[in-house]
Amino acid sequence: MGEDSSWKQRTHTCGALSRENVDQTVVLNGWVESVRDHGGIHFIDLRDRYGVTQVVFPQGGEYADIVNDIRSEFVLSVEGKVRPRPEEMINPKITTGEIEVEAQDCEVLNPSKTPPIEIAESATYEANEEVRLRYRFLDLRRKKVQEKILLRHKITRVIREFMEGEEFLDLETPILTRSTPEGARDFLVPSRYQGGHFYALPQSPQLFKQLFMIAGFDRYYQIVRCFRDEDLRADRQPEFTQLDIELAFVKEDDIMELVDRLVARVVREVHDREVQLPISRMSYAEAMRRFGSDAPDLRFGLEIVDVTDAVSGLDFKVFQNVIESGGTVRGILLAAENTLTRKEIEERQELVQQFGAKGLAWVKFDANGPVGPLGRFLDENAERGLRETVGASDGDILLMVADKEPVVLTALGQLRTSLGRHFGLIDDKAMEFVWVVDFPLFDWSEEDKRWVACHHPFTSPREEDLPKLESEPGTVLSRAYDIVLNGIELGGGSIRIHREDVQQQVFKAIHLSDEEARHKFGFLLDALSYGAPPHGGIALGLDRFVMLMSGADSIRDVIPYPKTASGSCIMTNAPSTVAGDQLQELGLVIRKPQE
């Protein structure tokens, strides 16, 4: 049977009608939300993305037989007259709650099988994520899912309006480019024309946006798709979207001030709330020292305290050995009202061990003397000194980790977050932004036994640290900055290297030979030699921003067609095998991977 073009198109959406439309004849198109039979009078709630309208089919009417066969998710075209609802039937919860449409004509545009997902807003159960993703086209009909996707659209629109008002140019960059694996793994695309050669999908438009600055397009932005073949978590996807920004002739303050105003605009238009500007700034060293994270959650306390000096005189070998080897002892103080049982403390011990710590020491400050494994090592003076160091009162518990500083801070940072959630200290409605600045330029890679770029190798070192690039690379600070919201990195950027000689120095510091640097980044080095202006930028994770603005638990909830935690699309069964002739054209042979 061919497609029927005679059906009536809508005059209004299902969320548009009100008392002003009473006595008008209208046509609605949409999906059946529910069907109710009240003594032969049928009521159908018709839904589209704009809302729901109640349609009434009078008893014994011309379309009674049709209505008897209609089920949820059928697609209908209904013509009828708008009439006011009886006073006792007004529904203030929906925009069309004061009216209903009395059907005069009805056509089933398409029936529907019984969906494997309850789509109606009144659904009594929530399908598991696998079913939802397999039938994502149905999941996307659900109001609470649609609201998140519509919020994404709104945030994107606000961003575009803001950037346009700031005279930025919306410019595109290539999707098929060359592989420059300095961070996560690239997704590779084989070339049919050049056998044995591959394109890479971009992890970021980083180098192209820098080239825009050299070309003279001094204010660039793009809402761009990026790709990284990396291990997945709740806030990671193999393909993701970011707001990419680059400006010429700017310094750090210019970019942070711009982003301050951008996020404040988004929050104002989405949540009708004001972000206090300027957003506060915190050094990387301070963030790690106080919160054990370079993305600190400022919605609650439980700050890390250094107790190395206070416990240095104890006859406790674990602490002694760590301190003598140059390590540190730090802890988190729990107030008496947030007490933990011994079993709960043991569970936290397992947590810190996952992040490299050997264990978790603890002491409870009791009115009759210290209690716990560390208590017997504390005489009166030692207890008094430790109390004063951490500001403890009777009933408080001090949880401590002793090890190398990076291990201690990371483990306690994870413990802090766990405790904040456990005791309900985190205000889910709060919005705490912070800029983290003064990052190290390099991290030491134990695996590769060399320095690697902390952000990427195009980040500019501080001017005063340039002489130390060769002699003391671990002490060099970068001109990088991250913006953090509620303990999640929203985005990161930096002032870039705009001089060829400095770029060569940084490549050398990360053990990239001149030959390798020329092979991978020759086009960039050439561009830097032709009058590259000072420039910098930032990339904000759009998926993360929408997740935080919507209160979703995962970015999968705010991406229309997300991948699973294993990077697959169970709706389309991607990735999939391909035909042998396709592989032959590309000169590829599939070998079974080794176990």
SS3 at position 491: strand
Q: Could you read off the pLDDT tens digit of each residue along the chain, which spans 595 residues?
A: 346 678 999 999 999 999 999 999 999 999 999 999 888 889 999 999 999 999 999 887 677 678 888 999 999 999 999 999 999 999 999 999 999 999 999 999 999 999 999 999 888 888 999 999 999 999 999 999 999 999 999 999 999 999 999 999 999 999 999 987 656 789 999 999 898 899 999 999 999 999 999 999 999 999 999 999 987 665 689 999 999 999 999 999 999 999 999 999 999 999 999 999 999 999 999 999 999 999 999 999 999 999 999 999 898 999 999 999 999 999 999 999 988 988 999 999 999 999 999 999 999 999 888 998 898 899 999 999 999 999 999 999 999 999 999 999 999 999 999 999 999 999 999 999 999 999 999 988 888 888 888 889 999 999 999 999 989 999 999 999 999 999 999 999 999 999 999 999 999 999 999 999 999 899 999 999 999 999 999 999 999 999 999 999 899 999 999 999 888 999 999 999 999 999 999 989 988 777 6
Neighbour-count burial for 209-237, b at 16+ CB within 10 Å, e otherwise:
bbbbbbeeebbbbbebebbbeeeeeebbb
Contact assessment for residue 111 and residue 71, using Cβ atoms and an 8 Å cutoff: yes
Q: Are 237 and 555 in contact (CB under 8 A)?
A: yes
Cβ neighbours for 260, distance < 8 A, ≥ 6 positions apart: 275, 277, 278, 279
For 186-244, how does the pLDDT look when each residue is reduced to its tens digit (9 = 90+)?
Answer: 999 999 989 889 999 999 999 999 999 999 999 999 999 999 998 766 568 999 999 99
Sign of CA pseudo-dihedral 276, 279, 285, 288:
positive
- Residue 571, token pair as written in the block: 């709706």
pLDDT digits (tens, 9 = 90+) for 80-105: 999 999 999 999 999 999 999 999 99
- Kindly report the pTM of this predicted structure: 0.91
Whether a cis peptide bond, with omega within 30° of 0, leads into 575 is yes
Q: What are the structural domains of the chain?
A: 19-110 (2.40.50.140), 148-282+434-558 (3.30.930.10), 300-426 (3.30.1360.30)
Q: Per-residue pLDDT tens for 279-312?
A: 999 999 999 999 999 999 999 999 999 999 999 9
41 in helix, strand or coil?
A: strand
Instruction: Please give the single-letter amino acid code of residue 254.
Output: D
Q: What sign does the CA torsion over 303, 309, 312, 314 have?
A: negative
